[in-house]
């Protein structure tokens, strides 16, 4: 084998997605050997519930981060959407109206973010720290310490139902949207523009691209999918508290970054995000099998998040003879 093909092969192997896949397989084997219940199809299917809702938000958020922006308010949007749904449901409305209220609230909230960033020209970190406080605050202001749980019976189907056999509605939705987002990002010209906007927004504008329109659309999409996640989560839990989905922004952002999306924008893949979601879900599930409490899980999530960005930086630092600007 010549040196050149060797290098190419090594580069392939070291690709982020490949490493994630290897981690996924290792996890799988590890948990299968630890717990006898693990390999059951229905157990595995159950396991998907603990990440699909988050992963559904991670897809549009990946696009947003690739475009050089960030949305920290996603979990707060889920809470606000859930509260709206609860209020609509408490008036005795049908399932259709409840779902529409959830999706609509998410979309509106996302549009608020989009307006702040595009028209208001506020950096997205600051804007969404603000709306995160505002949306979550609105949920608390409206609900206080009350709980909403008057959901119509048919509503439970979204988060608890199965499409076919062990394939849950949630998982099916996630897989469908993952495919759509993947194709959109990697094979269409609009995807190209998203990468360009993230890599250099100014140059994109001077290439005649409508940068702000893309930003707005991406914030609105992220909001809409947060609304969708709210529908699924609320349907699964059957109740709404203002603290619903607390801290999820961390896990969703971690999924995206673990998926190899660059926090500096301009780089990333949907395949990576999907694999990261699977790795993530499996860790949660596996630790659950071993009776590790959720808060300890957050140590793993935090360390994973930092390791994912630290390892490439360390490798870069330690690589001999790197070019340090000529």
Partner 1 sequence: MSPPVLTLTDIRKSFGGVRALERVSLELPAGCVTALIGENGAGKSTLVKILTGIHQPDGGEIRIRGTPVRIADPLAARALGLGVVHQECQVFDNLSVAENLFIRAQPTSRGLVDWRTMRQQADAVLRDLDAGFDAGTPAGRLSIAQKHVVQIARALTHDSQVLILDEPTASLSQRECAELFRIVRKLRDAGRAILFISHKFEEIDALADRYAVFRDGVSVSAGALADTTRDELIRLMVGRPVEQLFPKLETTPGAELLRVESLSRAGEFEDISFTLRRGEILGVYGLVGAGRTELAQTLFGVTRPTSGSMHLAPDAAAAGIALVPEDRQSQGGILDFSLAANVALTNLARLAPRGWCSGARERALAAEWIDRLSIRAHGPGQVVRSLSGGNQQKVVIAKWLARAPGVLILDEPTKGIDVGAKAAVHRVTSEFAQAGGGVIMISSELPEIVGMSDRVLVMRRGRLRAEFTRQAATGDALLRAASDA
Partner 2 sequence: MIRFFARFSDATRRDLAFGGLTLLLFVAVTVAFPGFASPRNVAGLLDDTAILIMLALAQMLVILVRGIDLSIAANLALCGMLAALFNRAFPGAGVLPVLALTLVAGGLLGAFNGILVWKLRLPPIVVTLGTMSIYRGVIFLLSKGAWVNENEMSRDFTSFPRTGVAGLTLLTWLALLVFVGFMIALRRSRLARDLYAAGGNPHAAEYSGIDAGRAQFIAYTICGALAGMCGYLWVARFAVAYTDIALGFELSVIAACLIGGVSIAGGTGSAVGVLLGCLFIGIIRSSLPLVGISAFWQMFINGAVILIAVLVSARERDRQGQTLEARA
Binding string, 73-112, against partner 2, x = CB under 8 A? ----------------------------------------
**5 backbone φψ class: left, alpha, beta (φ>0; ψ -120 to 50):** alpha
The token pair at 195 is 């990468």
Say which entry of partner 2, partner 1, none residue 298 contacts (CB below 5 to 8 A, set by partner kind). partner 2
247 binds partner 2 (CB under 8 A): yes
Q: Tokens 């500096």 label which residue?
A: 264
- Cβ burial of 14 (10 Å; 0-12, 13-18, 19+) is exposed
Which segment (119-127, 157-165, 233-241, 276-284) binds partner 2 by CB under 8 A? Answer: 119-127
Say which entry of partner 1, partner 2, none residue 121 contacts (CB below 5 to 8 A, set by partner kind). partner 2
Query: What span, in angstroms and rounded, lies between the C-alpha atoms of 276 and 59?
Result: 11
Which of 148, 253, 255, 279 is close enough to bind partner 2 by CB under 8 A? 253
Based on CB atoms, which residue is closest to partner 1, 12 or 205? 205
Q: Tokens 């969708």 label which residue?
A: 228
Q: Smallest distance from the beta carbon of 136 to partner 2, in angstroms?
A: 6
Query: What span, in angstroms and rounded, lies between the C-alpha atoms of 110 and 223?
Result: 4
Whose CA is closest to 236, among 245, 223, 247, 248?
Answer: 245
**Helix (H), strand (E) at residue 168:** strand 167-168
DSSP state of 2: -
Which of 134, 209, 237, 297 is close enough to bind partner 1 by CB under 8 A? 209
What single string gives the DSSP state of each residue in 205-221?
HTTT--HHHHHHHHHHH
147 binds partner 2 (CB under 8 A): no
Based on CB atoms, which residue is closest to partner 2, 3 or 325? 325
Near partner 1 in 253-292, by CB under 8 A:
266
305 binds partner 2 (CB under 8 A): yes
296 binds partner 2 (CB under 8 A): yes
The dihedral sign for the CA sequence 182, 187, 193, 195: positive
252 binds partner 2 (CB under 8 A): no
4 binds partner 1 (CB under 8 A): no
Based on CB atoms, which residue is closest to partner 2, 96 or 302? 302
What are the φ/ψ torsions at residue 162 (nearest 5 degrees)?
A: -120, 140
The token pair at 263 is 């926090």
Query: What span, in angstroms and rounded, lies between the C-alpha atoms of 205 and 54?
Result: 32
68 binds partner 1 (CB under 8 A): no
12 binds partner 1 (CB under 8 A): no
> What are residue 168's DSSP bridge partners?
162
The answer to whether 276 and 259 have CB atoms below 8 angstroms apart is yes
Q: Report CA-CA distances (Å) from 280 to 49, 63, 205.
A: 12, 19, 36
208 binds partner 1 (CB under 8 A): yes
23 binds partner 2 (CB under 8 A): no
Which is it for strands 167-168 and 162-164: parallel, antiparallel or unpaired? antiparallel
Q: Smallest distance from the beta carbon of 83 to partner 2, in angstroms?
A: 12
Q: Smallest distance from the beta carbon of 314 to partner 1, in angstroms?
A: 18
Could you list the residues that contact partner 1 (CB under 8 A)? 187-193, 195-196, 199-200, 202-209, 266, 321-326
Positions that interact with partner 2 (CB under 8 A): 70, 116, 120-123, 125-127, 129-138, 140-141, 143-145, 242, 247, 250, 253-254, 257, 263-264, 293, 295-299, 301-303, 305-306, 309-310, 313-314, 317
């Amino acid at each position: 084998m010549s040196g050149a093909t060797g290098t190419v092969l090594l580069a392939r192997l070291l690709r982020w997605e490949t490493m994630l896949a290897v981690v996924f397989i290792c996890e799988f084997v590890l948990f299968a050997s630890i717990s006898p219940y693990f390999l059951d199809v229905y157990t595995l299917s159950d396991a998907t519930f603990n990440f699909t809702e988050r992963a559904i938000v991670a897809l549009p958020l990946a696009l947003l981060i690739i475009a050089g922006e960030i949305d920290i308010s996603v979990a707060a949007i889920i809470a606000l959407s859930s509260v709206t749904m609860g209020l609509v449901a408490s008036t005795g409305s049908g399932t259709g109206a409840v779902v529409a209220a959830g999706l609509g609230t998410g979309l509106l909230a996302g549009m608020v973010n989009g307006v702040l960033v595009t028209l208001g020209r506020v950096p997205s970190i600051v804007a969404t720290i603000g709306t995160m406080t505002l949306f979550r605050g609105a949920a608390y202001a409206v609900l206080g310490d009350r709980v909403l749980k008057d959901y119509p019976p048919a509503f439970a189907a979204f988060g608890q139902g199965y499409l076919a056999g062990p394939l849950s509605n949630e998982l099916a939705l996630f897989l469908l949207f993952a495919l759509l987002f993947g194709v959109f990002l990697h094979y269409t010209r609009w995807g190209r523009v998203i990468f360009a906007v993230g890599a250099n927004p100014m140059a994109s504008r001077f290439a005649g691209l409508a940068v702000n329109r893309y930003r707005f659309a991406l914030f609105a999409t992220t909001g809409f999918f947060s609304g969708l996640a709210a529908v699924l989560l609320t349907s699964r839990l059957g109740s709404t508290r203002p603290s619903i989905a607390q801290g999820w922004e961390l896990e969703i952002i971690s999924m995206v970054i673990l998926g190899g999306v660059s926090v500096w924008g301009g780089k990333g893949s949907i395949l990576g995000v999907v694999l990261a979601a699977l790795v993530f879900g499996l860790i949660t599930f596996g630790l659950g099998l071993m009776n590790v409490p959720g808060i300890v899980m957050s140590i793993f999530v935090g360390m994973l998040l930092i390791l994912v960005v630290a390892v490439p930086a360390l490798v870069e630092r330690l690589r001999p003879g790197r070019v340090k600007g000529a």
